Structure 1
Amino acid sequence: MFNPKSMNREISNRRDILAMVLIGFSFLAIIVISVLYFKEPENSEHVKNLFNALLPLMSTWIGTVLAFYFGREAQLGCKF
């Protein structure tokens, strides 16, 4: 039988996993780039350019995930 509550729970679990993977990947990428920057001073200019290019992208991903979850909580709180 089709159970909408079960389907909603499955979709919610997928969203939670996707959000955690996305945030985890972003933090891991920032850490790796930071380690490369301090570990190899001769390539620091290239790593700095890479960091400056990727940081806004990763920040946008994290901001989107946070906006989605806080927006959803706000909508659920406003329903009567």
Structure 2
Amino acid sequence: MPNSKKIIVHLPPSIVEDADRLAKIENLDRSEFLTRAVRSYIQEKCFGEKLCNIKAGYEEMASINTALAELGMSLDLPFLEEYEGKISESD
């Protein structure tokens, strides 16, 4: 494997057996199988963090949007009252 590092990892025998069994089914050697498994785990964790960040962003924007909506309503209210007054006068 080009550009790879050799590491030593201690795993329970059952995990090694499961990994070897799945690697054989997928026609991969142990190293490639574990590389893909670790990459998948890292991507899953990063995706979870991104979702948390997105959720926090939406929650932060909710308060900003509420404040902007209230500001807009307070600015529009005098015009609405004037409009309603003109309508009631024309009846």
Say whether the fold is shared (TM-score over 0.5).
no
* CA radius of gyration, larger in: 2
TM-score, normalised to structure 2, is 0.39
Query: What TM-score results when the alignment is normalised by the length of structure 1?
Result: 0.43
Larger RCO (CA within 8 A; separation ≥ 6) = 1
* Larger helix proportion of the pair: 1
